Amino acid sequence: MLREAIARQRWWILAALLGLAVLACVPFVLMPFHVRVGQLILLSTALGLAWTLLGGFAGYWSFGHTAFIGLGAFAAGLFETQMLGTPFMRAQPLVGLGLGLVVGMGACAVVAGAVAWPILRLRGIYFAVAMLGVAQVLSELTNSIDAFKGSMGLVFPRIPAFGLRQEAVFYYLLLIATAVILAIAFAVKNARIGHGLAAMREDEDTARMLGVPTERYKITMFVLSATLTGALGVIYAHSLGYITTGSVYRTDFSLNMIVYNLLGGMGTLIGPMIGSVIMVVLTQVILGGFLNLHMFLTGAMLVALVLAAPRGIVGTWLAFRRRRRDAAA
Amino acid sequence: MKPAILELKSVTKRFRGLVATDDVSLRVEPGTITSLIGPNGAGKSTIFNLVTGYLPPSAGEILFHGEQIDGQSTVAIARRGIARAFQIAKPFPEITVHDNVRIGALFGRDGPRDVAAVTEAALETAGLDDFADRPAGDLTVGYLRRLELARAIAARPVLLLADEPCAGLNPAETDEICDILRRVRDRGTTVFLVEHDMEAVMRISDRIIVLDAGAKIAEGTPDEISADPKVIAAYLGTPEEP
């Protein structure tokens, strides 16, 4: 089934690979500031895609996905600095980062697996609110238990630059992460599980009557989404160099992951990519000069967009094309 | 006697004080269209909800191919080969008719299958070939019922539960649905039907079971049922004493 999907969408895949090649050249051409904007766009895209594995595909909107950014970041940070220690990290920084990724993702998988069973029994807004609570609890624990160093902060070891500038290193790490998450999302969407999730999103009880193992699918996607979000948290924390609770457990992360998908098109792959590019360019570049009005304008624009195009850019485009085709027929 | 495909043994379902089905025992024989009829509130939908595992019975046993299925999850029962077409059609409106039916073929009863072939066959059986590429949300009520049946057929059920497939349809549409159900039976799937349209029921049923106020009051062929005074009383009320 995946092979058919690859054959059917070969032009999209080719475009994605081409895009990847173009993006790989960016650090050699653009100014450091713009590379940093690129970094932010990639992080946002990857977060939007990781969120959509559960939110977009299964229709379970998490309002607290920053829980896994924070959890991944702190688990990796504590492991790298406390368990491995500074001398090891100086000698083997890449091995350290690799192990940090494994630990951060592992922590997210374990926590997601543990909370999945009780909270995925909740539907719709109740699940969203429960996730908000999970993020709040993890954030408070990190902040108030001294061993987690949430209030004091954690300093991350530097990653070697291989002759590149520091911002280029993280640009490439995030580019790889985005490509991997996009490939996973493509595979999931086009596999049997993807069709089952689509059915579940539309009507969970009907999907169950048709034999879709909804419980198993939900838990799988929740753990997958959490783990990939955790990996992004680990990379993000390294790019910051120093984190406290407030810098990785951020409500605006949770909200933005939803906004990218809403804006671009829920349940699609291209949606969160378009959404994140628009949001980052708008907030960082265009509105960057109006710091006072920035949040006000962003908010106002979001309200306008959701009112004008509730299905997002992709959904609106598809509906427009269908109407045109029907009118022609 | 051949083993029944579905057998309810003294099944009772209580909702707090209300007894929805009261000690109901019934059998659905393989290869038949068996209809379950009765006035509103007789417990017909409750029986479907019990058989599909959507609700657990308060007492009694439900056997499918002689194996107990009460207490199993909806998903497990669907994978054994019981599919249900809903009274209120519940399509996945955002996806096409073809993809709706394909979900049934991808999931449904366990075992190997050719998804594309099963989907095509189900679309054809339900007479939906021409609508395959339309979003399900665009269909009229009559075609939504067909989609509901097609999706259930694609799940390759051994037993198809059809919940009032003719409700609210005009005579021509009702005829179409009856033809689809006959085709399904003739291809070897047993049909268990709940329906209010008496004319349709009398025409296509091999066996009829009558419920009233949660209890079984009669069972037999269409001719026997239409002559049964208990059934007439249940539907029309007992004539007043002179």
Across the interface, whether the CB atoms of B83 and A206 are under 8 A apart is answered no
Percentages (nearest 5) of helix, strand, coil residues in chain B: 40, 25, 35
3-class SS at A319?
Answer: helix
- Label residue B232 by pLDDT band (50, 70, 90): confident
Closest by Cβ to A211, choosing from B90, B95, B108: B108
**Interface predicted TM-score (ipTM):** 0.84
Residue A231 near residue A72, CB atoms below 8 Å: yes
How confident is the model at residue B182, as a pLDDT? 95
Closest by Cβ to A209, choosing from B78, B93, B109: B78
**What is the rounded CA–CA span in Å between residue B122 and residue B140?**
19
- Label residue B1 by pLDDT band (50, 70, 90): low
- Label residue B241 by pLDDT band (50, 70, 90): low
pLDDT digit string (tens) for A264-313? 999 899 999 999 999 898 888 777 777 677 777 777 877 887 788 888 88
- Inform me whether the C-beta atom of residue B219 falls under 8 Å from chain A C-beta atoms: no
CATH architecture for the domain at A2-328 = Orthogonal Bundle (1.10)
Residue A155 near residue A240, CB atoms below 8 Å: no
Residue B74 near residue B50, CB atoms below 8 Å: no
How confident is the model at residue A182, as a pLDDT? 97
- Inform me whether the C-beta atom of residue B78 falls under 8 Å from chain A C-beta atoms: yes
The arithmetic mean of pLDDT across residues B135-145, rounded, is 88
In chain A, residues with a C-beta closer than 8 Å to the C-beta of B103 are 195-196, 198-199, 207, 210, 212
The whole-angstrom distance between B234's CA and the closest CA on chain A is: 32
How confident is the model at residue B8, as a pLDDT? 95
How confident is the model at residue A174, as a pLDDT? 96
pLDDT digit string (tens) for A140-192? 999 999 889 888 999 988 887 777 788 889 999 999 999 999 999 999 999 99
- Inform me whether the C-beta atom of residue A327 falls under 8 Å from chain B C-beta atoms: no
pLDDT digit string (tens) for A50-108? 999 999 999 999 999 999 999 999 999 999 988 887 777 777 888 889 999 999 999 99
Closest by Cβ to B75, choosing from A199, A211, A322: A211
What is the average pLDDT value for chain A, to the nearest integer? 90
pLDDT digit string (tens) for B155-201? 999 999 999 999 889 999 999 999 999 999 999 999 999 998 888 99
**What is the rounded CA–CA span in Å between residue B152 and residue A300?**
46
Q: Which of B15, B22, B48 lies closest to B194, judged by CA?
A: B48
How confident is the model at residue A4, as a pLDDT? 83
pLDDT digit string (tens) for A11-35? 999 999 999 999 999 888 888 888 9
Across the interface, whether the CB atoms of B84 and A322 are under 8 A apart is answered no
Q: How far is CA B167 from CA A291, B37, B52, B101, B145, in A?
A: 61, 13, 21, 21, 9
**What is the rounded CA–CA span in Å between residue B90 and residue B229?**
37
Among A321-325, B1-5, B22-26, which range has the highest average pLDDT? B22-26
Name the least confident of B26-30, B64-68, B91-95, B177-181.
B91-95
Domain boundaries, chain A: 2-328
- Categorise residue A319: left if φ over 0, alpha if ψ from -120 to 50, beta otherwise: alpha
Across the interface, whether the CB atoms of B99 and A195 are under 8 A apart is answered yes
The structure's pTM equals 0.89
Across the interface, whether the CB atoms of B135 and A322 are under 8 A apart is answered yes
